[in-house]
Structure 1
Amino acid sequence: MKIRLKPLDEQVVVVLGASSGIGRASALRLAARGARLVVGARSQPGLASLVQEITAAGGEAVHLVCDAADPDQVQRLADLAVSRFGRIDTWVNAAALSLFATFEDTTPAEFRRVVEVNYLGQVHGALAALPHLRAAGQGALISISSVESRVALPLHAAYSAGKHAVQGAMDALRRDLIADGAPISVTTVKPATIDTPLFTNSRNKMDRRPKGPPPVYSPEVVAACVEHAAEHPVRDLLAGGAAAQMLATEALAPKVMDLLLAKVAIRAESTREKVPGGSPGNLDAPTSDDRVKADLHGRPSLFTWLQLHPRARVLTAAGALAAPTLVRRFRRA
């Protein structure tokens, strides 16, 4: 079965978790390509500023305050898209919360809340989107997961657990759709550390401000993956070359990964800025933080760019294979 997706300037796209960070970067990028946007998140100020930014640039967007953990609210987001624009062509699940604490310092309520948003939020989004993607005759479901769907980090048990669950659910859904012959693409995007406000807004039980382990990539690296997946059926995309390295090491040498992350990752997950008593973060209530980027100075990713440009990848590989021969000929000349 061949899946054909529309050009973005003919699409209606829903982004759940769009008020800041990766979701906001993705919404802005898709709108710049001409897609009509329906955006949802818990933060009314963040959504309002996003819609204003899109419309000021000549795009078209509407928003709805929506908690991904509530299936009824997510369903209303889908209903808004259909009532306003008539259909849904692509649905992007980007809502996420984070908590930095050891496993034993994480309460059952905190585990539940993180998993409700990071995992069940994606389930709610998919369930709301799928009937409309089927009705449209084609479509894309894009899941913003994480390298932590395969490589769990210390101090991040609840987050890693939710992302592991997302991976299993999306893999099973993809296989269900293939068996059914449904022309719907399911893409899982796995970012490495991205420079977003996720860390600033995390609940934190350390005595220092949290951050992601380096290297750190720009949110545009992930947004480019979302843009590509909205037009090209693709199974998985890695945002940042570090994600590929971590996944390979986890697969080939899991015990080495255990020791490496235990020794290195905890220090790499905190800054020097002291925050005695930690910080509550946005688990229980949204913040007004509507930034795309934080202050981690994210960089582009050549690895991801080559993923999204297969012809360039082939040329690069051919050049690498031809290089030794060219060097020998140059030396003989």
Structure 2
Amino acid sequence: MSQGHVVVVTGASAGVGRAVVREFARRGARVGLVARDAERLREAAREVEALGGEALVLPCDVSDSQAVEAAAEATERRWGALDVWVNCAMVTVFAPVMETQPDEFRRVMEVTFLGYVHGTQAALRRMRPRDRGTVVQVGSALAFRGIPLQAAYCSAKHAIVGFTESLRSELLHDKSRVHLTVVDLPGMNTPQFDWSRSRMPRQAQPVPPIFQPEVAARAVVWAARHRRRSIRVGMPTVETILGNRLAPWLLDRYLARVGYARQMTRAPRRQRADNLFSPVPGDPGAHGRFDSRARRHSFQTWANLHRGWLAGLAAVGVALAFSSPWPPRSAGRPRA
């Protein structure tokens, strides 16, 4: 991402979205910051400017299509043509299906799915007439494999996959050069597990192994610069998707046995405000409370992003191997 590119990030005030904002700022981008909490957005804006970018604070609930449209309009009015739109806003509920209320399912779908629809449409209204631009959908391994206690979130992420596939075919039909890409994530160390609504008996945690949000942010910014259909972040994401393709019945039983325990710590759940319908106060930034357990790097992701270079290196190695005589000739005369 070069200096001065115009970017909008939804879910920009915390978690992966906040890390993505910082990563764009390091490259000198102009970043429109979309989230509900204005104070956290102002903190994020200060970070952007300290890192060398420019920021525009756009308080907005992505479930409101008109508000999202207004945010896109304000961004272009300030800086000109939009280059990249990143959909990252989400809410969730940790609870069994029969303990999740209809309004909770509805709210998760309005933000975590329809928020992506609203953001994508707002971006395309501007990108398609110019025949350029990139929309990045921040997805999840849970878009391909549902797990217990997160039915609402998994449903929303599955819906994003269907929406994105339909749209990609439409863009190809229209011969549009607007690029649509998806970055699928594993369990991330974000504040989500402290302020999401939960009915679990113990505190929520990401399914291990856990990764720092900067791992995701680097992949998102890379995706905004390269025309890759999708990027899978972390080996657990790859394993989950492949495992569900090969033996979904086995994953059904495995998750029935371990899926509950792996989403909870040993600490009892604390009663506190959640962010399902309104933001909670405070600014935790990008990280949650799992810094001591979270991985800062993913070799699988690095290899994925550099697969062209690695393939070229492998080809050179093969060529050298076949060009060398085998077995090697002995030096000097053979002994009598």
1:310 aligns with 2:307: yes
CA distance in 2 between counterparts of 1:161 and 1:218 reads: 24
CA distance in 1 between counterparts of 2:317 and 2:63 reads: 48
Determine the structure 2 residue equivalent to 1:4: none
Q: Counterparts in 2 of 1:2-81, with a 5 A limit?
A: 7-81=1-75
Bigger radius of gyration: 2
Q: CA deviation at 1:215?
A: 0.6
Code of the aligned partner of 2:277? D
Q: 1:318 to 1:263 in 2, by over 3 A?
A: farther
Q: CA deviation at 1:262?
A: 1.1
CA distance in 2 between counterparts of 1:72 and 1:214 reads: 38
Q: 2:192 aligns with which of 193, 198, 203?
A: 198
Determine the structure 1 residue equivalent to 2:239: 245
| More displaced 10-residue stretch of structure 1: 282-291 or 68-77 | 282-291
Q: CA deviation at 1:10?
A: 4.1
Show structure 2 runs of 5+ residues with no match: 329-336
Q: CA deviation at 1:321?
A: 8.0
TM-score of the superposed pair, with normalisation by structure 1? 0.91
Determine the structure 2 residue equivalent to 1:123: 117
SS where residue 98 of structure 2 aligns?
A: coil
Q: 1:273 to 1:70 in 2, by over 3 A?
A: same
Q: 1:216 to 1:312 in 2, by over 3 A?
A: farther
Q: Counterparts in 2 of 1:281-292, with a 5 A limit?
A: 281-287=274-280, 288-292=282-286
Q: CA deviation at 1:189?
A: 1.0
Q: 1:159 aligns with which of 148, 153, 177?
A: 153
Code of the aligned partner of 2:133? G
**Aligned partners of 1:189 and 1:236 also within 8 Å:** yes
SS where residue 134 of structure 1 aligns?
A: helix
**Aligned partners of 1:19 and 1:41 also within 8 Å:** yes
CA distance in 1 between counterparts of 2:145 and 2:156 reads: 12
Code of the aligned partner of 1:38? G
Q: CA deviation at 1:290?
A: 3.8
CA distance in 2 between counterparts of 1:157 and 1:175 reads: 28
State percent identity of aligned pairs: 36
Q: 2:130 aligns with which of 130, 133, 136?
A: 136
Q: Counterparts in 2 of 1:139-218, with a 5 A limit?
A: 139-218=133-212
Q: CA deviation at 1:87?
A: 1.3
CA distance in 1 between counterparts of 2:131 and 2:287 reads: 36
- Count of matched residue positions in the alignment of Structure 1 and Structure 2: 324
CA distance in 2 between counterparts of 1:98 and 1:312 reads: 38
Code of the aligned partner of 1:309? H
**Aligned partners of 1:19 and 1:290 also within 8 Å:** no
Q: CA deviation at 1:230?
A: 1.1
**Aligned partners of 1:91 and 1:129 also within 8 Å:** yes
Q: CA deviation at 1:133?
A: 1.2
CA distance in 2 between counterparts of 1:29 and 1:314 reads: 27
Give CA deviations for 1:36-91 in whole Å, capped at 9, x if unaligned: 11111001111000001111233211111000111011111101111101111100
Show structure 1 runs of 5+ residues with no match: 1-6
**Aligned partners of 2:25 and 2:49 also within 8 Å:** no
**Aligned partners of 1:45 and 1:290 also within 8 Å:** no
Q: CA deviation at 1:313?
A: 3.2
SS where residue 186 of structure 1 aligns?
A: strand
1:235 aligns with 2:229: yes
Q: CA deviation at 1:289?
A: 3.3
Runs of 4+ in 1 over 3 A off after TM superposition: 315-322
